[in-house]
Amino acid sequence: SLEVVRMYVFFDASSWTVEVPSSVSGLQGSCIMIPCSFNYPEPDEKPSKLTGIWFKDTHDTIYHPDSSSIIKDYRGRTELVGDLRQKNCSLRIDPLHRSDKGPFTFRIEMEDHDKYSYIHDTVSIAVNSPDPPSLSVREEVKVGEEVSISCSVSHSCPSDSPLLTWSHSGTSSVQSQQLTNGQWKVTSSLTFTPSSTDHNQSLVCTAEYRGGKTVKMSKTLNVKCKWTTLVLGSACTSDISMVTCLCIVDSEPPSTVEWSLPDGPLPTLPSTRVERHGSVTMVTLQRALGFSETVHCHAHNTQGNATLSFTLSTNGKVNSGGSVS
């Protein structure tokens, strides 16, 4: 019946489908992959031969198994990387030229069966400059505690991924992940143990693409000490009636420094002088003390605390070798 015929035609036409992104982006001089899968009405017998063709502007052939059919500008630069028998029509262009904007259309030809151009599903290419890498670093890391940081960048050429390098030494590993719309992501993870000298230093991740094009991303390391460090150069000097003590603390973040005697804390006096130079805090105590006194310098910050003690002898001299606890 007429109704049956109409249903058959509708089903038949709907089977000619293709899945391609409307747009893909790539870097000039690198390669690009256009992901493509297609479908067609299944014939009674499998076609003996499938021919995949790609066009630019519906008429210029940019890929054909017979290379003589390809227009000169694309000859030697295009490759059908998909398996047509698996209904995969993915196309590779290498190297990508700035003029490779499209739109591009796929066509399938089946020997002794049918031919079809998927003119309603075209692909355009955006030829871009590479984006800077994405750098993931914790807001705060600690001296002596192993840390892992990552750097990732997206690209369009899985066979020639960007090379990611670090400005800091450590153990690195690389992973690749397929995204959508013909994009891949490569991620490098760096593991290292920060030291105090890393504080406020720039950590740089560099992505190098084919042809030597590089882009960089950097972040400043915020390294905290796991404890407060008291410099053992701290000392007290004494004359007959006065003792002067200097306590030098190098810590990140900078420490609060206080003095105490065995029986309790010493109040901050006008004669107590505090100087700060970056992470270094220098506190000078000057006052009259009795004999056989012990003086304690206490330093503390958000990461910990420490104490340095000095013992004054009866002859007015300071015993050498303070103790840190």
Same domain (yes/no): 10, 104: yes
- Lowest model confidence (mean pLDDT) among 19-33, 99-113, 227-241: 227-241
Domain boundary among 201, 224, 247: 224
Q: Verify that 105 and 8 share a domain, yes or no.
A: yes
Q: What is the pLDDT of residues 137-152, one digit of tens each?
A: 988 898 888 999 999 9
Cβ-proximal residues to 319 (8 Å cutoff; 6+ apart), any chain: 310, 311, 312, 313
Answer with the residue of higher pLDDT: 240 or 24: 24
Domain containing residue 280: CATH number: 2.60.40.10
Are 295 and 257 contacting, i.e. CB atoms less than 8 angstroms apart? no
Backbone angles phi, psi at 89, to 5 degrees: -115, 25
Strand partners, 153: 186
**Does residue 261 share a domain with residue 214?**
no
Mean pLDDT of all residues in 212-233? 80
- Say what the pLDDT of residue 187 is: 98
Domain end, chosen from 128, 144, 164, is at 128
Whether residues 151 and 193 share a domain: the answer is yes
Residues 74 and 182 occupy one common structural domain:
no
pLDDT for 289: 67
Helix ranges, 187-253 (H): none
What pLDDT, on a 0 to 100 scale, did the predictor assign at position 3?
37
Closest CA to 300 of 265, 262, 269: 265
| pTM reported for the whole predicted model | 0.66
Give yes or no: residues 70 and 186 share one domain. no
182, 204, 224 — which closes off a domain?
224
Number of domains in the chain: 3
Q: What does pLDDT average to over the chain?
A: 85
| pLDDT at res. 229 | 64
Given the DSSP bridges, would you call strands 229-230 and 147-155 parallel, antiparallel or unpaired? unpaired
β-partners of residue 324 are: 308
For the four alpha carbons of 177, 179, 184 and 189, in that order, the dihedral sign comes to negative
Do 195 and 236 belong to one domain?
Answer: no
Give residue 301's domain range.
229-324
Residue 28 CA: distances (Å) to CA of 261, 289, 319: 72, 77, 72
Q: How confident is the model at residue 69 (pLDDT cuts 50, 70, 90)?
A: very high
CA distance 34 to 180: 11
pLDDT digits (tens, 9 = 90+) for 160-197: 899 999 999 999 999 999 998 899 999 999 999 998 88
pLDDT above 80 (res 154): yes
